[in-house]
Amino acid sequence: MSKLERLLNLTAALLDTPRALTVDEIHERIPGYPEKEESFRRAFERDKDDLREMGVPIDIVAVPGTNPPQQGYRIEPERYYLTDPGLAPDELAALRLA
């Protein structure tokens, strides 16, 4: 699996989760990461840095219901997706043709 595919999978997982995912959940759910814990952690840190460099707003928040309390990661869709530019129907049609 390529790094780009792993970054896309990570972005999709963090966008499509009802609550923040722990590091262990990310390791279990996202294919393409190394099996060894230390190697996974280094790759995950690099991936987070790369996504943030591209402007992806990854949040670190407390995961509810964990004892001891754990931190998790997620991407708030409202902060990630572009807002509607308010194009008129003919402008949308022209954009689709382009």
pTM for the whole thing?
0.81
Cβ atoms of 16 and 37 within 8 Å: the answer is: no
Q: Helix (H, G, I), strand (E, B), or coil: what is residue 69? A: coil
Summarised one tens digit per residue, pLDDT across range 22-76 is 999 999 999 999 999 999 999 999 999 999 999 999 999 999 888 899 999 999 9
Read off the tokens for 93: 């049609």
Summarised one tens digit per residue, pLDDT across range 27-42 is 999 999 999 999 999 9
